[in-house]
Amino acid sequence: MAGYDSVKAKFIEESPDTLIMTSPYFFSQFTLVIATQLVEDSMVKLDRICREANVKLVFVRSYGLAGIVRVSVKEHTIIDSKPDHFLDDLRLNNHGVSQTCHRGRSIVDYSFVILCCLV
């Protein structure tokens, strides 16, 4: 099948805490970082690194059957498609973006890394 030859993968066998401390520039090559089971100190450092590099960051932590997800982005615009009021407003925020969707292109093109801290 065409297109599957261009998929590449790599991994780094290193503790996320060590990677955050020794190679903060590593995260700037991605548009999204997903970090799991990190301690608070590492989360704060990684958040600072990603914000400076304008990289979106998602923290995930589970405690047995309960868990928490934290999303850290500078700004995120949300359009309410079904508002509580009934005023007809046909404007969309960044309407040029919705046009590209209908031409078969992907609107969101993320390169990402997942950091897993095994406990």
pLDDT of residue 74: 80
Q: 3-state class of 116 per DSSP?
A: strand
Answer whether 23's CB lies under 8 Å from 115's CB.
Answer: no
Residue 91 lies in a domain: no
Domain ranges, residue 27: 12-74+110-119
pTM for the complete prediction? 0.60
Residue 48 lies in a domain: yes
Q: Which of 57-61, 74-78, 81-85 has the lowest mean pLDDT?
A: 81-85
pLDDT of residue 106: 38
pLDDT tens for each residue of 10-20: 678 888 899 99
Spatial separation of the C-alpha atoms in residues 68 and 53, rounded to whole Å: 24
pLDDT of residue 90: 57
pLDDT of residue 103: 41
* Residue 91 scores a pLDDT above 80: no
pLDDT tens for each residue of 25-62: 999 988 889 999 898 899 999 999 999 999 999 999 98
Number of structural domains (the chain) is 1
Q: 3-state class of 29 per DSSP?
A: helix
What whole-number percentage of the chain has pLDDT above 90? Answer: 24
Spatial separation of the C-alpha atoms in residues 61 and 28, rounded to whole Å: 23
Residue 55 lies in a domain: yes
Q: What angle do CA 50, 54, 57 make, to 5 degrees?
A: 45
Q: Is 51 exposed, middle or buried (0-12, 13-18, 19+ CB in 10 A)?
A: middle
Residue 36 lies in a domain: yes
